[in-house]
Structure formats: structure tokens, C-alpha cells
Structure 1
């Protein structure tokens, strides 16, 4: 009993002291929990630090090193949000809008733009329509400032609609600012892209997006060296043939003179006219192979009518806004660079100058377009007016005859691909 009493007295004396706390069974768990929390916090800080320093999405600009992070990977998610954040930081004087054809072929770092001292940003987005261009421009002008010049690539195929289509686009559920910002700073994907960025510095011709938004398709150089340009053209041509055959031949929703794309174009022209932006609507320079597919699918008549609609909308916008500066440029046809020969099968040494494949032109051709649009130099491309539509149609017919005479294989090959696609279509 005396020993038990003495033990109780010792416990009473030790109560509340560090020694007593150490004797409690929950003490080791507290230390373990604190250690785990410290490890997690250190891990979070490490991931955030790596992503912020390597900066795979051009969002922070803390370091720019050729050995670490100068070349960035092409973002696989949140590309619209990333591009907007980059454009807002640049506050460009010239913006380039459109789908992948503009994103690939129009270089915002073009010497032409640099020589004129005009900061540019390529807001083109692959797989998108004018709805996205309008939304991105509205966000840019609200958060930064309106651009003084806009070059807008307009896609013929996007204006083709079923008569029963909707006039208004379906609502888009965009991620909240905190969500995409958090995901691009702290996530497995952002960490993976940061590590991928480091590896890209030693890669030859990596898939990338430049600091000013262009996706130059440098990775196609690798495919060309191993498989040749013929394989690239053929793979894309098979996809193009299927896509062209699925398209309707209508431009308007039944009972109207409009469609979703026409409505978005009107809204975009009105906004830019109020901003006093110099607007250039650009009809893409489709390669002769793709133009031949349009012809085989019976779409050339619709294409002529579409060009008339573009000119009509530009004229109507100028009537609504007398000070508006809006031009329509037609770079389509069959002549000159657009009839560029496709290297032969198995040829891995020949390099095309103007096209990656029939749907995507290189920035060498894009520079000629920018030179014509912004500088007024050269003969490539025609500025369309209502009075000049017939002459433009005659120009294209003459170019087609010349291309067919010097390169008939491009028409025969396109017809074969369309025939195969038509036979495989249920």
C-alpha cells in the first residue's frame, strides 16, 4: 500500500509537466500527426515551387532558361483560359483569331510585325468556331484593352449548317478562375507538364506552344523525316474527305438569313467596330487537294455564296458603324503556292515550303498573308468587295485550269479519296 501511495504521489507531482505528457499514450500519435502534416506541407510547397519556376504554361515568368524551360509543351487542358491569361499579360496591339489553321500558320513573332513595332498574340484555338473567338475577345477587351488590329480566320466548313440547326449556341460551362488557376499550379497534371517541359529542352522539334500563342507544328518535322510528307498529307486527306462529305450544303437556318456562325460574326464585327479595331476577315488558303475535295463534294457553289455572305456582313457592319474599318481577304484558290506539289510516297528528304498538309499552311505562307493584309504588299490574296466577286470567281477558275494542267495528280488523288470515303459512309 505504501508503494502504491508513493506512486500516486509521484504522478500527482508530475501532472502537467512535459514528462507527464510524454507518458500519455496519445503523445506519440500527436508527434506522428505533426510529422505527417509537415511532410504534406513540404510536398505541396515543393510541387508548387517546381511548377511556378518551370512554368509550363507561360503564366508566371519567374525564370526563362534554355536549359530549363524556354520551350513549353502544348497545353492539353484549360487552353482557352491559359491563352487568355497570356494575352492579358501581353496586352497585344494585334490579335490573331480563328481555328487551328490560324493557330498554326499565323506567327505573332513574325518579322513583319516586329519591324512595325506591333505586339501580337495568336488567340487561335484548334477545333473551335467563331463562338469561341467572340467569347475570348470579349474577355480580353474587358480585362485588358481592345486591340487596334484583328486578323480573323473564317472557316468555310464551320458556316455549313443543317436548316434545322439552332440559331444560338448551347451554353458553355466554363471552369471558375480559382479552379483552373489551382489545377495549373498544383495538380498531378501540372507537375507532369513541368517535368515534360524540362525534358523538351533537349528534344528536337517538340510539340509546343509559343509564348505568344502559336502552335507551329514543329513536331511534324519528325514525322516528315521518318515517314515523309506524303504520309502526313494522306493521313489528313483521308480525314478531310470524310469530314467534307458529312457537311450539309446550307448556310442559313430555315426561315432566316442567319446561322450560329453568321450571328457570332455579326456580334464580333459590331463589338470591334465600336472599339475602332481595324478588322481583317481572312478566307484561308486551302491547298489545291482540299479545294478539289470541296469540288468533288459539290460544295464550290456554296463556297461562292458564302463569300458573298461575308462581304454582305462586312458591308452591313460598316453601314451600322460608319467609322468601322473592315476588310475581307480571299486567299483561297488553286494558284501559286496553293498548288504546291506533295512529295512522292517514300520520299523522306523533300521538304514542302508552304504546307504541312492540305488543311494547315506553314508560317512562311502566313507571313505572305500578313504582309498583304497589313502592308498592302505583294499579289497573294484578293481584297473582296461586292463588285469584285465575279472577277474573283473567274480568277479561281483560271487558277484551277492552270493547276490541273501542271499537277493533274492532285485532282485525281482527291477524287479517289472522296470516292473511298463515300463508299465507306453508311
Structure 2
């Protein structure tokens, strides 16, 4: 019996002697590489500067960034804001640090919770610019995605379990290896993702998205619209709880003396045609009326000189039908912040209030009629796509 006990004891000692150093080595490697950008490790070009694994963990690393950066100005919204708004816009020079808290495929509840998180970490917050999108208020999409966690919000540090996981888990180790390889592939410019990496983040929480260079703009538009017709617009019901979340965002601004500026994202005109082809145009107009009752809101959507650009002529303004790029985002911020107003087209950005919303809705209807007369083929292929997906 004593012999057996001695054998077990020796085994345990050997196991611990080998296992603990191995675990510590893995932890040290993961902490140094910091593949998710949540452990405050320094970035070394060619070693860990390119972090493609962050793209699946935006909600975690952005919560950690808020703790670390304590921004005084934040952008809120879904991937429209995340891709289109530049924290380095010169009009925001007096409100730095500025951070883009846009979250992919998010709803308005998440925007509200991340604003509360930002306030908890920066009691002197000055401004929140909130980009709204019709899909954010779909009652069938009000449950946050699986990587959302309330437990990490309104804290001054990342929860222990997530910190441990980021340092010691198998997933973290695999992500560290991918990060190291990606950084080796392109050590020349830390702002550019290597190879075929499609999505990557740069400083300030901005998402950069690459699409295949050989893919035409028309193909990009069609692929994106198909996703919306199949998912976001197939089942839609305007969310009362989502509208209440927006009311709470406005109330938070009043309670904490934060300037809350709200705008409707400038999706391309064909994106609006997908809403219409889904039978949701009346809901879309109702949504605008409801928002205007809650707060003044800048509306950059519609059939204006920016959003109605011919698809085959687009170069710098849109990634595809739903996502505008920084040249458009800069115009949005120029209008909202009253900066270099002469650069903004007169028809781009209308302030909606209970008094102005109805005339504006009527103007959009007239603008659409004019746009359809010029671009009937774009309306036609959106409607044909919608019919095929319904059949």
C-alpha cells in the first residue's frame, strides 16, 4: 500500500513539475501576444500588431478599451457607425479621446448598455454620437448576440474569468498563433491586414473591411441585399423596447450632462428599395416618426445626392449598399458638428422633429419617384431578387 501511495505521489510531482511550467509558458505567450487586445500588452510590429482574431470578439475588446482609454466622446451604433465614422475627425479635437463603440450586428439595447459602460469609466464624458439603423429596432433581433455579456459592462476591469480565458484557454493559444503568423506576413504596415484577411480593427475601434478586389460593386450590392432580404427584413416588427432603449440613451445624456447627437445612417438608395420590396416601407416611415418624437434626429437616408449615386460609379463612398465609408462619414460629422458646412451637399442631412418629420417623409417619396425614373434597372433587380427569395 505504501508503495502504491509513493507511486501516486511521484506521478503527481512529475505531472505538476511538467504541467505548471507548461501552463505558465502558454500563459506568458498568450499575454505577450494578446490576440484579442484585452490584456494591455504592447504591440510589436511583425510580432503581434495584426490581430485578426479580434473581429469575432468586438464586444469584449471594446469593453476593455473603454476601461483603458476612458473616452470623452464615443460613437454608438451597429457596423454602419463602426465602419463609417472616424474618431480622428478634426471637429472632435477638443473632445478627445474619441472611441468608436459601434458593434457589428448590434441592436439599440447594446448601444445603450455600452453607453452606460462608457459613463461608468469616464464620469466626465462629453459627447455621444449615435448612428441609428432600421434593423437595430427589429423586435425579432432584440436578443444580443452570443458574444455579448452584461457582466463585463459598467466595470472598471475585465471580469476575471474572461481575463483568465484570454491568457490560458486553448482558443486563446490558437488565436495567439494566428496573430503571430498574421503579423509576420505583413510587418511593413501595422494599419493593413495581411493576405486574405477580410475584417480587421485599427486604432480607435474602427472596423476595416476588405472585399475581393475582383468583385464588382454591383455584385457587392447584390450579395449584401440578399442577406438583408433573407434575414433582417424577412421578419420585422418595430420594437417598443428598442424605442424605450433610445429614450433611456437620451435620459442618460440629460442625467450626466452629455451631449447626445442622433442620426439615421446614410444607407444607399437601393437598400431602401430592399425595405420597400420586403413590404416594410410603412414600418420604416413609422420608425422615423417614432424617433422624431423621442429626440431630434439628423436623417441622412433617402434619395439624396450622396445616397443615390449610381452603383456602377461608386468608388470611395460605399463598401456596399448598407455600409458607407469615411468620405461619407466625414460629411455626416461635418453636418452634425457644424464643421466646414460648405463641404456638405444641401440635401444631405435633414434635422427631424415632430414638426418637420412629415414634410421630410413626403419629400423622400417625391425624391424616390425622380430616382426611379432615372434608375429603373436598379429597382427592377432588387424587386426580382426579393420575389425569388420569397418563392
Q: Please, what TM-score do these two structures have when normalized by structure 1?
A: 0.77
> Bigger CA drift: 362-371 or 395-404?
395-404
Assess if the C-alpha contact under 8 Å between 2:107 and 2:135 holds in 1.
no
Q: State how far apart, in whole Å, the 2-side matches of 1:208 and 1:80 are.
A: 14
Q: Is 1:359 equivalent to 2:322 in the alignment?
A: yes
Matches within 5 A, 1:261-276: 261-276=242-257
Matches within 5 A, 1:24-423: 33-75=12-54, 78-113=57-92, 115-116=93-94, 118-145=96-123, 147-161=125-139, 174=150, 177-201=159-183, 202=186, 203-204=194-195, 206=197, 207-217=199-209, 219-220=210-211, 223=212, 225-243=213-231, 245-248=233-236, 251=238, 259-314=240-295, 327-343=296-312, 352-376=315-339, 377=341, 378-379=344-345, 380-423=348-391
Assess if the C-alpha contact under 8 Å between 2:317 and 2:324 holds in 1.
yes
Deviation at 1:417, TM superposition (A): 1.1
Deviation at 1:262, TM superposition (A): 1.1
Deviation at 1:86, TM superposition (A): 0.6
Identify the residue that residue 190 of structure 2 maps to in structure 1.
none
Query: Residues 72, 244 of structure 1: CA spacing in aligned structure 2 closer, same or farther, 3 A cutoff?
Result: closer
Deviation at 1:174, TM superposition (A): 4.5
Assess if the C-alpha contact under 8 Å between 1:95 and 1:122 holds in 2.
yes
Deviation at 1:34, TM superposition (A): 3.2
Structure showing greater Rg: 1
Assess if the C-alpha contact under 8 Å between 1:105 and 1:216 holds in 2.
no
Unaligned ranges ≥5, structure 2: 153-158, 187-193
Assess if the C-alpha contact under 8 Å between 1:155 and 1:284 holds in 2.
yes
Unaligned ranges ≥5, structure 1: 1-23, 253-258, 315-326, 344-349
**For residues 61-120 of structure 1, what are the alpha-carbon distances to aligned partners after superposition, in whole Å with 9 as ceiling and x for unaligned?**
33222212222224365532321111121111111111122222222244553x456221
Q: State how far apart, in whole Å, the 2-side matches of 1:154 and 1:267 are.
A: 15
Q: State how far apart, in whole Å, the 2-side matches of 1:351 and 1:303 are.
A: 25
Q: State how far apart, in whole Å, the 2-side matches of 1:310 and 1:38 are.
A: 62
Identify the residue that residue 155 of structure 2 maps to in structure 1.
none
Q: State how far apart, in whole Å, the 1-side matches of 2:16 and 2:353 are.
A: 68
User: How many residues of Structure 1 are paired with residues of Structure 2 in the alignment?
Assistant: 366
SS of residue paired to 1:243: helix
Deviation at 1:27, TM superposition (A): 6.8
Q: State how far apart, in whole Å, the 2-side matches of 1:245 and 1:36 are.
A: 56
SS of residue paired to 2:71: coil
Q: State how far apart, in whole Å, the 2-side matches of 1:360 and 1:121 are.
A: 19
Q: State how far apart, in whole Å, the 2-side matches of 1:174 and 1:279 are.
A: 23
Q: State how far apart, in whole Å, the 2-side matches of 1:193 and 1:204 are.
A: 17
**For residues 243-265 of structure 1, what are the alpha-carbon distances to aligned partners after superposition, in whole Å with 9 as ceiling and x for unaligned?**
365234x546xxxxxx1101111
Assess if the C-alpha contact under 8 Å between 1:311 and 1:386 holds in 2.
yes
Assess if the C-alpha contact under 8 Å between 1:101 and 1:361 holds in 2.
yes
SS of residue paired to 2:355: helix
Assess if the C-alpha contact under 8 Å between 1:58 and 1:211 holds in 2.
no
Cα root mean square deviation, aligned: 2.9
